[in-house]
């Protein structure tokens, strides 16, 4: 079956896909989000949402409802080396550093984005197989789905995550590299309250990192990062019971209040993944747009989770991309070829974001190498230099980025 769509096709209904659809909707541009799963995928429990992402959520018009649902404003970032018995505390109190960090439930974020979209914007059970350029003068891209449907549209935005068929298949971007580490995430529920301090804590012991942030009084989002992934990673990662067992084994030498989180975590919130990232030169040496096709979020700049910025930066992409499209499409003359105008807008988006992506993937990688290192040398650097001499200003510099606002425009 062949169909035509008067707007942009977005592959993937994760944070990047839904935020891009909502940003386009806010500037009057239609989109159709194609998601391979049968419903929203809210795996992974929660995520840290920093100042830069709150700016994007404000532009999208959903910041205040998420703040109401997530009242805990985190006050400090604590790095705790159990290897050395050393703690470093960085204040992130809004009054000290000007930063806002809250732990937001992934499901709440996806639902807030999805419910703000016009009805029928998201189509589930739609797996994108490939994308190609179209020869039609009106619709410059074609998206082919697994069931054989072909959708012609003004353009395609690949928000289909680390294994993106849009960025790796059509744009020709290199596949991400394994960081040689794996991450496990979960959401623990304490019926009588967890009593945890309003802080993002990271504990390091024997090459294992345990992090945790309160979502509210009763729920605590936690993650474990360990290198290397276990040999039987493929089997463990598909079986929540084995993820639970493996998590307990990683935490066996940690204090008991940390070990307790595993037993208090619902099986369906457990998630395990090999951490993947893009080398900065892969971003610099390859174009993230071609014709009327581009990508956003993990599809173009996957990063290790050491800055807690992967999802945050996907929100930034959405705002910048929608602004570039709205401004360029509104400024066109009737004589302009629409495909060329879209390409001009996508170039503007990629030019504006490229160095931000390079900086984030590099900074996250370096932070991970230093924080996660299990060799004595790296632990020495972490405990004697990184933990002692970093200032809050340089710790949180990644969160000062301002993606700007969305223009008020006539529907396109």
Ligand X SMILES: Cc1cc2nc3c(=O)[nH]c(=O)nc-3n(C[C@H](O)[C@H](O)[C@H](O)COP(=O)(O)OP(=O)(O)OC[C@H]3O[C@@H](n4cnc5c(N)ncnc54)[C@H](O)[C@@H]3O)c2cc1C
Quick check: 171 and 290 in contact, CB under 8 A? yes
Residues 155-214 that bind ligand X (CB under 6 A): 159-161, 165, 183, 185
Examine residue 34 and tell whether it contacts ligand X (CB under 6 A). Answer: yes
Q: In what order do the strands lie in the sheet with 155-158?
A: 122-123, 31-34, 8-11, 155-158, 293-295, 289-290
Q: Is the dihedral of CA 337, 296, 409, 34 positive or negative?
A: positive
Secondary structure element (H or E) that encloses residue 142, with its range: strand 141-145
What's the min distance (Å) between Cβ of 269 and ligand X?
Answer: 12
| Helix, strand, coil distribution of the chain in percent, nearest 5 | 40, 25, 35
Residue 123 in the binding site for ligand X (CB under 6 A) = no
Nearer to ligand X, 185 or 379 (CB): 185
Tell me which of 210, 223, 246, 365 binds ligand X, using CB under 6 A: 223
Restricted to residues 61-120, the positions that interact with ligand X (CB under 6 A) are: none
Q: Could you tell me the strand order of the sheet in which 199-205 lies?
A: 86-91, 76-81, 199-205, 208-214, 219-226, 177-189, 271-277
310 binds ligand X per the rule CB under 6 A = yes
Segment contacting ligand X by CB under 6 A, of 6-14, 133-141, 170-178, 227-235: 6-14
In this chain, which stretch among 13-21, 173-181, 332-340, 403-411 interacts with ligand X, using CB under 6 A? 13-21
Q: Which of 218, 234, 13 is nearest to 123 (CA)?
A: 13
Please enumerate in sequence order all residues whose Cβ is within 8 A of that of 69, keeping only pairs 6 or more positions apart, or say none: 104, 105, 108
| CB 32, min distance to ligand X, A | 12
The three-point CA angle 175-14-298 to 5° equals 25
Q: How many residues interact with ligand X (rule CB under 6 A)? A: 36
The answer to whether residues 186 and 269 touch, using CB atoms and an 8 Å cutoff, is yes
- Binding test (CB under 6 A) with ligand X, winner from 15, 22, 321, 406: 15
Q: Is 48 in the site for ligand X (CB under 6 A)?
A: yes
Stretch that binds ligand X, among 22-30, 61-69, 306-314, 337-345 (CB under 6 A): 306-314
Contact with ligand X (CB under 6 A) among 273, 366, 378, 412 = 273
Among 201, 309, 328, 363, interactor with ligand X by CB under 6 A = 309
Place of tokens 């709205």: 326
Task: Decide if residue 344 touches ligand X (CB under 6 A).
Answer: no
Decide if 343 contacts 289 (C-beta within 8 A): yes
| Chain residues in the site for ligand X (CB under 6 A) | 11-17, 34-37, 41, 44, 47-48, 127-128, 159-161, 165, 183, 185, 223, 273, 275, 297-299, 305, 308-312, 314
């Amino acid at each position: 079956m062949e169909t035509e769509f008067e707007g942009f096709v977005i592959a993937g209904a994760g944070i990047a896909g839904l935020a891009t659809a909502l940003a386009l909707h806010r500037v009057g541009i239609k989109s159709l989000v194609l998601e391979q799963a049968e419903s929203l995928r809210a795996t992974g429990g929660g995520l840290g949402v920093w100042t830069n992402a709150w700016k994007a959520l404000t532009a999208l018009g959903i910041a205040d409802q998420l703040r109401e649902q997530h009242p805990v404003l985190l006050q400090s970032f604590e790095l705790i080396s159990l290897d050395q018995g050393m703690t470093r505390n960085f204040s992130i109190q809004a009054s000290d550093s000007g930063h806002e960090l809250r732990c937001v439930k992934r499901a709440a974020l996806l639902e807030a984005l999805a419910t703000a979209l016009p009805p029928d914007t998201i189509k589930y059970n739609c797996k994108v197989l490939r994308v190609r350029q179209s020869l039609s003068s009106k619709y410059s891209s074609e998206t082919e789905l697994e069931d054989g449907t072909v959708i012609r549209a003004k353009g395609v935005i690949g928000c289909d995550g680390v294994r993106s068929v849009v960025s790796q298949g059509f744009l020709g971007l290199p596949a991400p590299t394994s960081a040689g580490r794996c991450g496990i995430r979960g959401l623990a529920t304490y019926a009588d309250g967890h009593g945890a301090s309003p802080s993002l804590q990271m504990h390091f012991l024997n090459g294992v990192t345990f992090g945790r942030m309160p979502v509210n009084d009763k729920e605590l989002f936690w993650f474990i990062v360990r290198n290397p992934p276990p040999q039987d990673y493929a089997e463990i990662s598909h079986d929540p019971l084995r993820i639970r067992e493996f998590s307990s084994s990683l935490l066996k030498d940690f204090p008991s209040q940390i070990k307790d989180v595993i037993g208090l975590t619902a099986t369906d919130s457990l998630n395990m993944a090999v951490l993947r990232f893009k080398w900065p030169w892969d971003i610099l040496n390859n174009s993230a747009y071609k014709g009327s096709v581009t990508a956003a979020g993990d599809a173009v700049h996957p990063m290790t989770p050491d800055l807690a910025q992967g999802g945050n930066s996907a929100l930034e992409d959405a705002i910048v991309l929608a602004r570039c499209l709205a401004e360029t499409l509104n400024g066109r003359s009737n004589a302009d070829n629409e495909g060329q105008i879209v390409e001009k807008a996508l170039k503007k988006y990629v030019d504006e974001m490229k160095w931000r992506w390079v900086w984030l993937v590099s900074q996250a990688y370096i932070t991970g190498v230093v924080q996660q290192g299990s060799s004595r040398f790296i632990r020495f650097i972490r405990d004697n230099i990184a933990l002692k001499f970093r200032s809050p200003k340089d710790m949180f510099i990644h969160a000062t980025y301002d993606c700007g606002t969305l223009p008020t425009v006539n529907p396109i």
